Amino acid sequence: MTFRTLLLTALAMLAFAGNSLLCRAALRDSQIDPASFTALRLFAGALVLWLLLWLRKGPSRVAGNWYGALALFTYAAAFSYAYLHLDAGAGALLLFGAVQLSMIVWGLLKGERLHRLQTVGIVLAAGGLVALLLPGTSTPSLSASLLMALAGVAWGAYSLLGKGTPDPLAATAGNFIRSLPIMAVLGLLALNGLEWNSAGVVYALLSGGLTSGIGYAIWYAALPGLAAIQAASVQLSVPLLTALAGSLLLGESLTGRLVAAGLAILGGIALVLRFKHRA
């Protein structure tokens, strides 16, 4: 791996962790509501991705499709509403676990066979998710957890829909742009509850333009220098980065349950990914 690839990969992982931190900070510490945050995030992401596509050398037409746009919108909306009642670290762990497990289940439905240690990995990851949600003083909100799981499944579907796309930047730009009229429907449904202030708007625009739009562009630039197992495994760092940053920057507590569940979920998924790419 070259220094350029390493740097781009590190920046992309920080951007992905930043999405959770910005969303949680906005919904906890500012007056913006989830629908407004989602709308501004998608708009800023669409604008920045379109500009990046327009500025680059070579083809600049947007791609993507309405299925991808619907999956993207579902992820973004469920993500925002979930972070009303979830800490950044717990939310990122639930999101990442749901993304990976949904993609693994899809592979099984399509006929993929599991190595024995992959089965152990799935059981371990699922057990970690269950342990995180067992009743207790540090149990995350069930409704918020289910919303974050929905966000994860939607992002897993988005990833599967885009698998093998020859121009991921063009596809992502097109999907962000197509998500805006879908977002308008949610805006109308939530019209009476829309509210924001300057801090909330800044958080949302940073989330959409910087950690989403530019973050995805950086990730796509890093991918050609990564092997498949490296690209899959490096994303295991995102929930850990988010939990640590949430503790340092947002004052969130790192509970024993969160640490133990995180190790189980991420360790289990790591087993599945390693043996999948060896096959």
Q: What are the tens digits of pLDDT across the range 93-146?
A: 999 888 888 888 888 888 877 778 888 888 888 888 888 887 766 678 889 999
Ramachandran class of 159: left when φ > 0, alpha when ψ lies in -120 to 50, beta otherwise: alpha
CA distance 262 to 248: 18
Sign of the torsion angle spanned by Cα atoms 263, 95, 51, 228:
positive
Q: How many domains does the chain have?
A: 1
The whole-chain average pLDDT of the chain stands at 88
Measured in whole angstroms, how far is the alpha carbon of residue 110 from the centre of its chain?
24
Place of tokens 């066979």: 113
Place of tokens 């998608």: 42
Task: Find the domain containing 7 and state its range.
Answer: 3-276
| pLDDT at 277 > cutoff 60 | no
The model's pLDDT over 198-255, given as tens digits with 9 standing for 90+, comes to 999 999 999 999 999 999 999 988 888 877 667 777 888 888 889 999 999 999 888 8
Q: Is 56 helix (H, G, I), strand (E, B) or coil?
A: coil
The answer to whether residues 59 and 213 touch, using CB atoms and an 8 Å cutoff, is: no
CA distance 86 to 92: 9
The model's pLDDT over 208-221, given as tens digits with 9 standing for 90+, comes to 999 999 999 999 88
Residues 6+ apart with CB under 8 A from 213: 44, 45, 46, 47, 48, 49, 52, 176
Place of tokens 């990122």: 92
For residue 58, the one-letter residue type is G
Task: Phi first, then psi: give them for residue 221, nearest 5 degrees.
Answer: -70, -30
Return the pLDDT at 228.
66
